[in-house]
Amino acid sequence: MEKSAKSKEHKTGIAHPEGEQENAAKGQEHLEEDQDSLAARLRTGNRSAATELVDGYYEQIYLYMRRLGHDRQMSEDLTQETFLRAWHHIGQLRDGKALNGWLYRIAGNVSKLYWRKRKATEPRGAKIIDVIETGETEHDKISRDEELHRLNEAVSRLPRKFGQAIVLHYMQHLTIAQAAQAAGVRQGTFKSRLNRALKVLRKQLI
């Protein structure tokens, strides 16, 4: 299940691109069916299904770890730990269609356990990961870096639960249902966290 980190760290804001939500909604039912099928094969101990799980989710879980404040090497290690736990505990997943949110919940717990053991070095909050190469002009790059720095600072000052809500929904592009499952809370609670986080960010970025 080992896989090297070749992930690109994408630039992202706090809103979905226009049309992306509509396309995501159209493909959601098909995605859930694929997840259900994959989960069923994982439960039988199918090794090719384990490889498919890693191939399909490695980059987004790695980026999630980075956005939770871990450096590159630790993000790789914690991502591997996430998949190992998923493999060993797949029998606990009752609804295969919820595989995506379930995997994120494991990742969040792996990250939380890591920080709990290292309280002295725990970051204040989540981070926004920038793109590696963009091909933009130097002036544009400077402006973008300044804007990204302000946004990073604002997100990092949020309480951990609020920062996690921003990362899950706006950066990892999980639906409200998936994000709530990943956070281990009800959808209403997650929406409340998200709305409060956005209000705080807007005030800080004015």
Nearest to 86 by CA among 29, 39, 35, 145: 39
Range from 4-13, 46-55, 121-130 carrying the lowest mean pLDDT: 4-13
For the full predicted model, state whether its pTM sits above 0.85. no
Give the pLDDT of residue 196. 93
Report whether pLDDT(13) > 50. Answer: no
CB 157 within 8 A of CB 204: yes
pLDDT at residue 155, as a whole number: 79
Confidence of residue 158 (pLDDT cuts 50, 70, 90): confident
DSSP string, 124-153: SS---PPPS-----HHHHHHHHHHHHHHHH
Give the pLDDT confidence score for residue 86 in this predicted structure: 94
Sequence-distant (≥ 6) Cβ neighbours of residue 63 within 8 angstroms: 7, 9, 10, 129, 171, 172
Residue 186 token pair = 């009800």
Give the whole-number percent of the chain exceeding pLDDT 70. 70
Lowest mean pLDDT among 29-38, 83-92, 136-145: 136-145
* pLDDT confidence of residue 76: 96
The torsion angle over the Cα atoms of residues 61, 82, 67 and 75, rounded to 10 degrees, is -100
Mean pLDDT for the chain overall: 79
Q: Is 74 exposed, middle or buried (0-12, 13-18, 19+ CB in 10 A)?
A: middle
For the chain, list the domains and their CATH numbers: 20-130+138-205 (1.10.1740.10)
